[in-house]
Structure 1
C-alpha cells in the first residue's frame, strides 16, 4: 500500500510540475521507412496523458518523449520530419484537453529535469590499485564496448554513488569513500581508455584515478 500511495503522489507531483505547452516540441511523422521518430518504445497506457509518459523517459535519461494515441516513446534524437501541429489531433484518453499524436504522427515533448553526471569530472587524484585490493567498494561488472569517464560515471550514478574510479584502461569502480588511499603521482594514471578517443586516460596498470560524481542537468 505504501508503494501504491507513493506512486500516486509522484504522478500528481509530475502532473503539477509538467506544463504541456511549454515543453511541447511539435508534431512529427511517427514512422518513416520502418524507423520510429523516437528510438525507444516505453509503454502502452490504458489512459494516456503527457505527464504519464514523462517519468518513463526521465528514468531512461532521454531528452524527448513522444505520444501517439496510447503509446509512449523516448529518445535523444528525432529521426523524423515535423508536420503542421493540426495533424496531431488525437485527444489524450487520460487528459482530453491535450493531444496525443494522431494518424502516423506523434506529439513530441522535451523531457524536463533529467540529471546526468558531469564529465569531465573533478579528479580526487591517482591512487595505488591492484585487482585484489579495493580502493572503491564496488566494481562495475559490465561488458563495456568503450571505457571512459562518461561510461563509468553513468554506471555509478545509476546506483547513487558519490565517487567513480578508472583503472587499467578498462575497469570501472564506484563508491562513497576511498577505502585504501595510497596516493601516487598523476603520471601513473596515464593509460589510454579502452576503445575511447585518443587522450582519454583510465588509470594505469597499478593505479586508479578517482573522481567526484557531480550531478548536472542535461
Structure 2
C-alpha cells in the first residue's frame, strides 16, 4: 500500500476510494515510435492496481494516469491513439478483476481528487526578514516569471511543507515551523508581488508574510 503524506493530511491509496469503471478513459497504444502515450513514468509496482497508481499522479497534478502491466505513467495529454478495449487484457497483479494494459497498450484513467494548496491562504502574520535572517528554513531557488501566493504555495506544497512565506515582492520560502519569529505590523507586508495582478502583496523589503499551506481538492 502506498502512503503519501502532507503535513497532518494523509492521502492513502485505498481500494474503495477510486471507482475504476467510472474513471476509465480507454485502451491506448503505449508507445508510438519514441513517444509514450503519457509523458511521465512514475514507478514500477510489485503488485499493480489502478488505486495504487492514482496517488502518484495526484501529487504530480496530472489529469490522467495509465497502467501497462506493473508500470504507472502520468500526464496531462494523451499522445497516442485509442484501440479496442479488449486489447487491454492484462489482469492487474494486485486486483485480478481489473485490467492493466497489455502488449504495447495502456489502460488509461482520469485522475480524481487532485489536491492543490488553498489560495488565498490563511495568514500567520508579518515578521521581520532579511536575506541573512531566515524565518522559514528553505528558500525556493527558481526563476519565477510571476510571484504570488499561488506560485509560492505550489512550490512548497510539492516538497510537503506546512508553511510558505513571501518577502521583498519576489522571494518565496517554505518550512514546517517559524524559526526566528519577530512579529511586525501588517503594514510592513505591503509590497506588490512581482509581475502579479495589482493588489497582490508579497511581504516587504524587510518583512515576510507567512501563510498556512492548506490542501484542498481542485
Q: TM-score, normalised by structure 1?
A: 0.71
The DSSP-based 3-state class of the residue aligned with 2:165 is strand
Decide which moves more: 197-206 or 178-187: 178-187
CA RMSD in angstroms, aligned pairs only: 4.9
Q: 1:199 to 1:73 in 2, by over 3 A?
A: farther
Which structure has the highest helix share of the two?
Answer: 1
Aligned length, in residue pairs: 218
Q: Deviation digits for residues 43-80 of structure 1, max 9, x if unmatched?
A: 23344322332233234343321012222101233333
Q: Closer, same or farther in 2 for the Cα pair 1:131/1:56, shift >3 Å?
A: same
Q: Which moved more, 1:118-127 or 1:1-10?
A: 1-10
Counterpart secondary structure, 2:10: helix
What is the distance in 2 between the residues matched to 1:128 and 1:7? 25
For residues 82 and 137 of structure 1, the distance between their equivalents in structure 2, rounded to whole angstroms, comes to 47
In 2, are the aligned partners of 1:11 and 1:52 still within 8 Å (CA)? no
Deviates more, 1:76-85 or 1:48-57: 76-85
Give the structure-2-normalised TM-score: 0.71
Alignment partner of 2:8: what SS?
A: helix
Given that residues 192 and 198 in structure 1 are in contact (C-alpha distance below 8 angstroms), is that contact kept between their aligned partners in structure 2?
A: yes
CA contact (8 A) 2:136 2:174 kept: yes
What stretches of structure 2 of length at least 5 have no aligned partner?
A: none
Task: Report the CA distance between 1:117 and its aligned residue.
Answer: 0.3
CA contact (8 A) 1:11 1:51 kept: no
Q: How far is 1:169 from its partner?
A: 3.4
Number of the residue aligned with 1:22: 22
Change (3 A) 1:4 1:23: closer
Distance 1:197 1:29 in 2: 43
**Structure 1: where are the runs of 5+ without partners?**
none
TM superposition shift of 1:203: 2.9
